[in-house]
Structure 1
């Protein structure tokens, strides 16, 4: 028996059982789900940072899937999220210029 104790994608129990194994799982409350989504975000971030170059896009897709799930759990639509993202980009810029701030002289 292998213990996972983590949030998984919706079809994982069926995939496990299709492989002749028994998946033991529970449906989380909204509060538990919110906590586990935050843990999953951290897990997926670590998987992305540790992935080799050819797996990074797939890991980013997992990371974005968790972000979308968090937005949904907070009642924020993708359109609302994009509006906030684009407004922030307009106000503060993006990351295209590859700027690296070394310090600020407080004179």
Structure 2
């Protein structure tokens, strides 16, 4: 019998999945402060997985990143509608990233 330690935020149904597999686990419910800290850690974890993903894994990794971002927004009282409104407004005013423009330098006039 081996114990594998995780100490990371997991999706809500993971404990039930572990139970169904016949394994034993320990969890705790985080305080708001701990939850926010673990969400930030989870975002970094998911970004790292995205960077290392194969082309076939990319969609799943983007979905994982979005799920964490949705949870972060919820902790801050921000709706997805509000985020989408601001995203579209910024895209309208400043554009997106479709044209793949790399800004090399700006010579400022003072």
TM-score with structure 1 setting the length: 0.95
More helix by share: 1
Which residue does 2:64 correspond to in 1?
62
Moved more, 88-97 or 56-65: 88-97
Q: Which 5+ residue runs of structure 2 have no aligned equivalent? A: none
TM-score with structure 2 setting the length: 0.92
Pairs within 5 Å for 1:11-90: 11-90=13-92
Superposition deviation, residue 35 in structure 1 = 0.8
- Aligned residue pair count: 107
The RMSD of aligned alpha carbons is 1.0
CA distance in 1, matches of 2:104, 2:79: 36
CA distance in 1, matches of 2:28, 2:80: 27
SS in 1 for 2:34: helix
- Over 2 Å off, 4+ runs: none
CA distance in 2, matches of 1:102, 1:15: 49
